[in-house]
Every structure is written in structure tokens, then in C-alpha cells.
Amino acid sequence: MIQTETTPNPDSLKFLSEKKLSSIGTEEFKKENENEIKIPFVKELLSFKGVELILLSEKFLSVKKTKEVSWNELKPMVISHLNDYFEKNKEPILRENKKKNENVSSNDDTVNKIIEVLDTKIRPAVARDGGDIKFKSFENGVVKVQLQGSCSGCPSSLMTLKQGVQNLLKHYVKEVNSVEAVQ
């Protein structure tokens, strides 16, 4: 059974699944990259009118839509698409062989501390809102992160970034001065 939850972003909705959607962590897919996507489920979902972005996580899927379509139109289509997938497939939508190796491996203690705080304290909170946060870099006291899913383009994401993420990272990792979002 698929349930939905609203997110702080009115153009984004979270679809919760009892079945595992991803066994490889969280991945984001954008309509603008539709031609490069090889996963049929994702490609079909991005072809729905108004679907702009999809974030697939272990137990949820976030869909970000354009203003031209309403949730009343789109929500039943997404639920139906998910149900149809699981009627025909036992495996998660995202499996091992699909994962790009994007884990940042570093011997830098500061970077490792930043990633640990992001993974344990920040990512779970962001996931509750249907999004994800990925570490990109740390240089001269500035942490660069990428906001994904519902958080991407959300009106409150800048406040979340500055008041939540930046304050937490500065508290736990003294080398951090500020946090910036990158694409």
C-alpha cells in the first residue's frame, strides 16, 4: 500500500511504500536528464505531464511537479505507477548494479566528521521532508552540499540550510564556518 505525505515544498509530495524502493541509498532523477536514464520505471514517471524531479530512497519516493499540473491529477497516476511496478516485480526499483560510485572517500578527519554529522543528524530529518542532502566538498571552512528531492528549490530550503544544517555542522565540527548549496 502506498501512502502520501505532504512536504514543506508545496510542489513536492512524498509517496511512502511498505516495499523497498531502493537497495542502494538515495538517488535523484531530473526531467532534463531523461534521455540518460536507463531505469524504465523512472523514465516512465518522468514522462508524466508535470513531473520535474524524482527522488528515490529506501522506503519512499518524492515527486516534484511543475505548477501546470495539480496533485489531484498527478497523485493517483504516481500511486498507480508504483503499484503496477510491484505487481510485476519483486526487486527494488534501484538495485546494486545501478549505483554510481559517488561516495567521497577521504582520509581527511574534518571531511569524515562532516559526512558523519550529515549522515546521522541531518539526512534523517531531511528525508522526513522527502529530500536528501549530499556532501560535495569542504574548502577554507566552507561546506558545499547538494539538496535533492523535495528540498531542491523549496522556498524554506535556504532557511533550513543556514539555520539547521550550518548551525549543526558548526556545533559538531569546529572547522566549519559556513554551508552553501550547489547544483
Q: What is the pTM of this model?
A: 0.66
**What CATH number was assigned to the domain covering residues 2-98?**
3.30.1370.70
Nearest to residue 142, comparing CAs of 120, 111, 172? 111
The whole-number mean pLDDT for each consecutive block of 10 residues of the chain, a chain of 183 residues, reads: 90 93 90 90 94 93 94 95 92 71 60 87 81 88 86 70 83 90 81
Cα separation values, 79 from 11, 39, 83, 160, 167, Å: 16, 18, 6, 29, 37
Looking at residue 158, its pLDDT comes to: 67
Looking at residue 6, its pLDDT comes to: 92
Classify 178 as helix, strand or coil: strand
The domain locations on the chain are: 2-98, 109-181
**What CATH number was assigned to the domain covering residues 109-181?**
3.30.300.130
Looking at residue 100, its pLDDT comes to: 43
What DSSP element (H or E) covers 80? Answer: helix 71-88
